[in-house]
Structure 1
């Protein structure tokens, strides 16, 4: 059904697995579109009350596919991609179920934005978590601004985005960017325990609370997604972004000039 992701539904639980392990589950145009389609379709799965999102292979997701960005200089096409990202985020944020991100290895850029949109985030202690768009001269997308502000407040969110620092599970927990920091290799076990506890709770009341709070934030989320879309198209045309992605591919330190 999907090329780049897997969806499994078992009774009241669904699992979405990012499935490009040879590319560190980096999100190419296909994965972004498939995630948007999948999350929209899950709105119709009335029996499902918990959704787990995880990555196949060694990492959760390295973020947007930088090699794809290098190959694509069609900015109208990039606007379409931002539309798919907006669909993905809105569908995920408004899901009438409890969402859990199960993180091992890297969760960076757009991959980290997706994780931050979850109700619970479980990260292994050696995870590499980063809102690192700044390193290639871009701004966060996938509502990264919205989710960082939700968890950190405006001032700290700005500083974290500007720094683009790589965090491990313990550091992310201390900041409140994840909810559980667990031993390496145990994320799936801990997530299973959380799922069991949720399904043994009055979960309809929990989902109702989620929907009340999330619906109140929807206009802000939409405003930020629009700002990210316009801002990202602008940033894609800067000298600093071109230098950032060329340096990334060449594995050298970028020389930014503020243009």
Structure 2
């Protein structure tokens, strides 16, 4: 059914796998569209009450696929991509399931926005977590501003976005960005045990509380997504972004000019 992701169900627990392991689950146009479609289909799925999201291979997700962004022959249609990114973020935030992100390896850029959108975020201790759009002259998307602000408040969110640093799991936990740290190789096991506990608890009441808390924020999330899409579109045309991408490809330090 899907090319780049895989959805499986076992009883009342679902598992969504980001499945482009050779690209460290970097998100190309197809994956963003498939994630949006999959999350939207889960909005109507009352058979699953808990959803685990994880990455196949060495990483959760390295973020947007820079190779595809740079492809001169078949460039990404940014307007279309931003629509899918907004669809996936809104659907993920409003899912009628308890969502758990099980992170190993890298969770960066849009990959980190998706993790932060989940109700419970578990990261293995050596995982690398980064809201690193700033490094290539871009702004967070996928609701990154909203999800980060919800977790840590505006001043801290702004600081983390501006710094664009790569955090180890324990640093991210100390900042309040994630909920739990496990030993290497234990992330998925921990997510599965959290999921099992959740379905054995009064999960309908938990989901009702989630619905109340999230529903009142949906308008705000929609506004943020709209502004992110506009800002991203503008930033992609900036000299700083082109320099950031060029430096990334050439593996050198970028020289930004604020243009």
Q: TM-score, with normalisation over the residues of structure 2?
A: 0.98
1:42 shift after superposition: 1.1
Structure 2 match to 1:28: 28
| 8 A Cα contact 1:4 1:31, kept in partner | yes
The aligned counterpart of 2:247 is: 247
Q: Distance in 2 between matches of 1:108 and 1:72?
A: 24
Tell me by how many angstroms 1:152 deviates. 1.0
Q: Deviations over 1:37-86 (max 9, x none)?
A: 00011122211000000000010000001111112699992111100000
- Alpha-carbon spacing, 1:48–1:156, altered in 2? closer, same or farther (3 Å): same
The RMSD of aligned alpha carbons is: 1.3
Aligned residues: 259
Q: Distance in 2 between the 1:24 and 1:231 partners? A: 26
Conserved? CA contact 1:97–1:207, under 8 Å: yes
8 Å Cα contact 1:49/1:98 also seen in 2? yes
| Match in the other structure for 2:258 | 258
C-alpha distance in structure 2 between counterparts of 1:75 and 1:153, whole Å: 36
2: CA distance, partners of 1:73 / 1:151: 40
SS of the residue aligned with 1:46?
A: coil
In structure 1, the residue matched to 2:138 is 138
Give the structure 2 partner of residue 113 of structure 1: 113
Q: Deviations over 1:95-137 (max 9, x none)?
A: 0010000000000000000000000000000000000000000
Moved more, 180-189 or 115-124: 180-189
Structure 1 contact 36–87 (Cα < 8 Å) conserved: yes
- Provide closer, same or farther for how the CA distance between residues 69 and 207 of structure 1 changes in structure 2, counting only shifts above 3 A: same
- Give the structure-1-normalised TM-score: 0.98
- Which position in structure 1 is the counterpart of 2:210? 210
Residues 68 and 76 in structure 2, CA contact (< 8 A), matched pair in contact too: no
